[in-house]
Amino acid sequence: MDSKVRKLTILVAMLAVITVLGVVILTNWSRIKPISAQNVESTSEAETDSGNITSEFGSGFAGADPSKQQGQNLTAFLSDETFFDQKKSAFQLKMEAENPKQLYFIATSVEHDMRVQIVDYKNRNITGQAFTLDVAGQGSYRDTDLDGVIYVSSLKAGDYVIQLEDTGDYIAPAESTVHVKEKIEYAEIPDISLLIKTEADIIAEEEDTGIKDALADADDTENSELQHLEGGKLGIDVSKWNREIDWNAVREAGITFAIIRCGYRGSSTGTIVEDPYFKQNIQGAKEAGLQVGVYFFTQAVSEVEAVEEASAALALCKDYNLDLPVYIDTESSGRAGRADNLDVATRTAVCDAFCKTIEAAGERGGIYASRNWFYNQLDTFKLAGASIWLAEYRKAPLYEGYYQMWQYTSRGSVNGIEGNVDLDICYPDQPIE
């Protein structure tokens, strides 16, 4: 009996709900019909007029302006210019930034000067264009050698507004302000790699010159054999002139370290150039288990250029852990080079600036020169703290100063190297004073 009552109650409730729904529909029928017709009409118009607009712009709701909603028209957002996000996408910004015709400035100052490099979006120097740089209050400076670098010297310390003229088909960089430093800072120059050229960019025969001053000071006691002195380590120094090297054979011959030329400054134009064999030499030497250091052949004529050379050496070596110092190689170019006639004070300042810049970067700085140059071309009392690499070709050096490395011959012979090679003895425990 209870079950029948329960079923009857449920049936009555369902009939009541249906009755209420029917009353609501009948009451509002006059309002529902026009809205439905309007929606059908609007949808039809949107399909006819807008064509493929949704597939072109995409869909979404962010940014819609409610004030522009048009009744129940669900496609009204297409006419709302605020509906779509107007912010440029990362892709659009990237494409604009990577316009191959857009130019940018990279400007640095060492002391009372500015060096302005004109580069593209990939930080590549723009060459072959005679740009003119306008420095407010100073005048215009032209890139006469078309290398994308304009150097301005003898400036008072302060801020200067620069802008580029004569850009041809290129888009000029935005006007910029450069701060010219009052006093030299022995610190690595950012973006110095843009100044480093390859031998494909220069006439190497005219730029990579030099003579070994130690040859003029040599005597007949010079020993070109491999020497194993007590307390010293046997090594070599090499450059592109030694060509291909079998570094495993070199190690097996008893060589424990190598000083490798990383680059040089051209004796004619002053261009900074990477030694074409540097990378393969330093990689080969390290893979063979040798200790390594590097040297840079200088033709700097000022402290500013010395900081550039040290910065270049640091940039070239940044991917390698060095065991030995970074040396500045100071000797004659042999062809009336730009630095051959420096006075003692200037040459000393150049070597000092180089070493201080190297040391500021956390590496050890050193100076390579012949006995004659240490005595007559440098003031060694002002170079305290630098590691000294002496070139003197005789049985025992006559040089009376301290030195940590001795290049004792340029006529050595080592398995793995074709032709003559410089041989060196390193005294790791020799004090630096």
What's 120's domain CATH number? 2.60.40.10
Of residues 37 and 310, more confidently modeled: 310
Same domain, 398 and 284: yes
pLDDT averaged over the chain?
84
Q: What is the pLDDT of residues 369-400, one digit of tens each?
A: 999 999 999 999 999 889 999 999 999 999 99
Same domain, 204 and 238: yes
pLDDT for 215: 81
CA distances from 158 to 113, 137, 138, 303 (A): 10, 12, 12, 20
Q: What is the pLDDT of residues 186-223, one digit of tens each?
A: 999 988 998 999 999 999 999 999 878 788 888 888 99
Same domain, 201 and 172: no
For residues 53-73, average pLDDT = 40
Same domain, 153 and 101: yes
Same domain, 206 and 269: yes
Query: How many domains is the chain partitioned into structurally?
Result: 3
Looking at the predicted structure, is the pLDDT value of residue 287 above 90?
yes
* Residue where a domain terminates, one of 149, 180, 211: 180
| Banded model confidence at residue 224, pLDDT cuts 50, 70, 90 | very high
Percentage above 90 pLDDT, the chain? 58
pLDDT for 79: 54
Looking at the predicted structure, is the pLDDT value of residue 118 above 70?
yes
Residue from 264, 282, 278, 360 nearest 321 by CA: 282
Among 2-6, 106-110, 216-220, whose mean pLDDT is lowest?
A: 2-6
Facing residues of 141 across strands? 133
pLDDT for 55: 36
DSSP-based three-state secondary structure for 135: strand
pLDDT for 403: 94
Instruction: Give a yes or no: residue 152 inside a domain.
Output: yes
* Residue where a domain terminates, one of 122, 149, 180: 180
| Banded model confidence at residue 334, pLDDT cuts 50, 70, 90 | confident
Assign 3-state DSSP to the chain and report helix, strand, coil percentages, each to 5.
35, 20, 45
Instruction: Give a yes or no: residue 432 inside a domain.
Output: no
Instruction: Give a yes or no: residue 143 inside a domain.
Output: yes
Instruction: Give a yes or no: residue 19 inside a domain.
Output: yes
In the chain, the amino acid numbered 201 is D
**Tokens 């288990």 correspond to what residue?**
289
* Residue where a domain terminates, one of 79, 109, 130: 79
pLDDT for 350: 98
Same domain, 209 and 68: no
pLDDT for 280: 98
Instruction: Give a yes or no: residue 371 inside a domain.
Output: yes
Rg of the chain (C-alpha set)? 38
Of residues 100 and 171, more confidently modeled: 171
Instruction: Give a yes or no: residue 392 inside a domain.
Output: yes
Same domain, 308 and 231: yes
Alpha helices in 301-426, H assignment, sequence order: 303-317, 344-360, 371-376
Among 2-16, 58-72, 312-326, 401-415, whose mean pLDDT is lowest?
A: 58-72
Residue from 401, 392, 398 nearest 425 by CA: 392
Same domain, 67 and 102: no
Same domain, 265 and 360: yes
Are the beta carbons of 292 and 257 closer than 8 angstroms?
yes
Residues 6+ apart with CB under 8 A from 7: none
Instruction: Give a yes or no: residue 431 inside a domain.
Output: no
Same domain, 66 and 118: no
Question: Global pTM?
Answer: 0.73
- Could you give the angle at the alpha carbon of 381 between the alpha carbons of 377 and 386, nearest 5°? 90
Range of the domain at 226: 196-426
DSSP-based three-state secondary structure for 254: coil
Tokens for 280, please give them. Answer: 């393969």
What's 377's domain CATH number? 3.20.20.80
Same domain, 170 and 209: no
Sign of the CA dihedral with 277 first, then 278, 281, and 283 last: negative
Instruction: Give a yes or no: residue 187 inside a domain.
Output: no
Same domain, 283 and 340: yes
